[in-house]
Amino acid sequence: MKKVVFGLAICLVFACSDDDNNSENIEAVNQSTWIKNFGGSGDDSPRSILQTKDGGFVVFGFTNSTDGDLSAKTLNVNDYWLLKLDAEGNLQWQKTYGGSKDDRGQKVIQTADGGYAITGYAMSDDGDASNNEGFHDNWVLRLDALGEILWEKSFGFSGHDHSYDIIETPDGGLFFSGFLDVTSSNGEGSTNKNSGLTRHGVGEFWGTKLDADGTIVWRRFFGGTNNDRSFGVINALDGGFILSGASESDDFDISDPKGSYDFWVVKVDKNGSLEWERSFGGTGIEQSRDISKTADGNYVIVGNTFSNDTQVTENNGSSDVWLIKISFAGELIWQHSYGGSGFDSADSVNLAVNGGFIISGNSKSADKDVSVNQGENDFWILTTDAQGNLLNEVSMGGTDLDFAYDAIEANDGSIFVVGETASGDFPEIKHKGGVDLVVAKIN
């Protein structure tokens, strides 16, 4: 096993064959690697990062700080928070969006015109939010290239309705996914289904297609009588959409459940009609958090698993990161578990230049696939080849709670990861207080 170690709390381990395990394989890390934190004395957390067309980056999440980097913010409640960084992680500008209540940003994309679309869930009906239908709504904003609001819309009913992912569609519109509190909506939430026949239960996968101006084209929900939540969505190759997440149900739209919670994947056509759905997992708990296209036109889905049976062939102990590859028709191609004897989980998966995958999440392990643990949950970033074989992994953190939420490969081949830290001893940074937003570049 080939190891690269930098700092006191960060290890990069190349998971190659055992015959590579010798001291001469220790290498120095390029000095351009860096870690930076942003925020104030409150809690500041990212959920999404992307490289922008100018070679820099945007990071998106939420903050309740009113000092430090957020000194212009006046209310200590959560607002959406968008940060624009240059290629070296220097802050170019930042914007907060929200009102007087709890507003939590989840995903940012750059649109074809160079602006941005952001989504999450919000309780505010003042400030930047024009309305709220009750508790949390799906709140979507279209922004220009400098983060100025072009339009904003709230979508929801009287319950807690959350959005976690958004994509631009080929026609220039948007599609966002999340979950609908269908009990509180009294069965409403689908434009082309009879509400009296479709009221299932606790929560549903919920997908909404918008035009370029934010007007609803259609929306549909899918699920059963228990808790079903979509955390990811991608454009399908045929113009439809694939929603991924987790399902606790075993009825209505769910045809072949495997256990307590499963990875659940729903394919709809361009008009929202259900074409197929698949459950993946074992008899324990599986929850998927993200989905990405593969270089060969199929899909990978990542999350965590507690199982070691049915479709899960290995468990390293407690919860493992679980990555599956499925075909464009929803058939399982392969699956891999990664982790140690502690709790390990993933939140994002993105395609690497070599056709493999970059996974980010958190780990409490310090054995098996995990090189080191500094205490509690650490950032954990994995890279694999195109077949899902582990190539390398990075664990970084301090003695408190640290969670990585997204990681991408940049144009120069470096990996950029965003997460949050509550650790006063997180390496290379001076902690600002509460939970800090962290951006790290790893070569």
Q: Per residue in 67-104, pLDDT tens?
A: 999 999 999 999 999 999 999 999 999 999 999 999 99
Mean pLDDT of the chain: 92
pLDDT reported for residue 199: 58
pLDDT score at 193: 60
Task: Give the model's pLDDT for residue 84.
Answer: 98
Whether pTM exceeds 0.85: yes
Would the pLDDT of 13 be above 50?
no
Fold type of domain 35-442 = Methylamine Dehydrogenase; Chain H (2.130.10)
Confidence of residue 381 (pLDDT cuts 50, 70, 90): very high
Q: What is the pLDDT of residues 109-168, one digit of tens each?
A: 999 999 999 999 999 999 999 999 999 999 999 999 999 999 999 999 999 999 999 999
Output the pLDDT for position 198: 54
Q: What ranges do the domains of the chain cover?
A: 35-442
Residues 289-298 have a mean pLDDT of: 97
Which phi and psi angles does 355 have, rounded to 5°?
A: 90, -5
pLDDT at 282: 98
109: left (phi over 0), alpha (psi -120 to 50) or beta: beta
In the chain, the percentage of residues whose pLDDT exceeds 90 is 89
Q: In angstroms, rounded to a whole number, what is the distance separating the alpha carbons of residues 303 and 286?
A: 7
pLDDT score of 213: 97
Q: How many CB atoms lie within 10 A of CB 22?
A: 9
How many whole angstroms from its chain centre is CA 165?
8
**Rounded to a whole number, what is the distance in angstroms from the first to the last CA of the chain?**
18
Residue 201 has pLDDT above 90, yes or no: no
Q: Which residues contact 261 (CB under 8 A, 6 or more apart)?
A: 246, 247, 248, 281, 285, 286, 287
How much is the average pLDDT of 395-413?
Answer: 97
Q: Is residue 305 predicted with pLDDT exceeding 80? A: yes
- 410, exposed or middle or buried, with CB in 10 Å at 0-12, 13-18, 19+? middle
Classify each residue of 63-96 as buried b or exposed e, where b means 16 or more C-beta atoms within 10 Å of its C-beta.
bbbbebbbeebeebbbbbbbbbbebebeeeebbb
Band of residue 15 on the pLDDT scale cut at 50, 70, 90 = very low
DSSP-derived 3-state class of residue 137:
strand
Give the pLDDT confidence of 244-259 residue by residue, as tens digits.
Answer: 999 999 999 999 999 9
Is 262:280 a contact under the CB 8 Å cutoff? yes
Q: What is the reported pLDDT for 287?
A: 98
